[in-house]
Amino acid sequence: MHHENNVQAPAEAGETMHHAASDAAATAPFLAFTGTGKSLFFLYIINGLLTILTLGIYSFWGTTKIRRYFWSHTKVQGEPLEYTGTGGQLFVGFLIGIVLLGLLALIALATDMLFGPPAGTLTGILIALLFAPYAIFRSMRFRLAHTRLHGIPFGLEGSPVRFAGRTLLRSFIALVTLGLMIPWAYAKVTADILGNIRYGDKMFTFTGKPMALVKAAILPMLLVIVPMAAYVGFLVMLASGSLAGYSSSELRTLILIIASALGLLTFISSLLWQCRFIRWAATGMHFGEAGLTCSITPLRLFVALLKFMLITLFTLGIGLPWAIVGLQRFFMQLYEPTGDIVFADVHRGPEQHEATGDGIAQAFDFDMGF
Chain segment 130-157, per-residue pLDDT in tens: 888 888 899 999 999 999 999 999 999 9
Total-model pTM: 0.85
- Per-residue confidence (pLDDT) for residue 256, from 0 to 100: 86
The pLDDT-based confidence of 241 (bands split at 50, 70, 90) is: confident
Examine the pLDDT at 90 and tell me if it is beyond 60.
Answer: yes
Stated length of the chain: 370
Query: In terms of Cα–Cα distance, which of 78, 84, 75 is closest to 35?
Result: 75
The pLDDT-based confidence of 245 (bands split at 50, 70, 90) is: confident
Chain segment 40-57, per-residue pLDDT in tens: 999 999 999 999 999 999
Chain segment 330-362, per-residue pLDDT in tens: 999 999 999 888 888 888 877 778 777 777 777
**CA end-to-end distance (rounded Å), the chain:** 59
Interatomic CA distance for residues 19 and 21, integer angstroms:
5
Q: Which of 68-72, 116-120, 163-167, 363-367 has the lowest mean pLDDT?
A: 363-367
Half-sphere exposure of 71 (CA within 13 A, CB side): 21
Chain segment 189-236, per-residue pLDDT in tens: 999 999 999 999 999 999 999 999 999 999 999 998 888 888 888 778
285 close to 292: Cβ distance less than 8 angstroms? yes
Query: In terms of Cα–Cα distance, which of 309, 301, 313 is closest to 268?
Result: 301
Examine the pLDDT at 20 and tell me if it is beyond 50.
Answer: no
Query: Is the Cα torsion angle 232, 238, 239, 241 positive or negative in sign?
Result: positive
- Per-residue confidence (pLDDT) for residue 178, from 0 to 100: 85
The pLDDT-based confidence of 21 (bands split at 50, 70, 90) is: very low
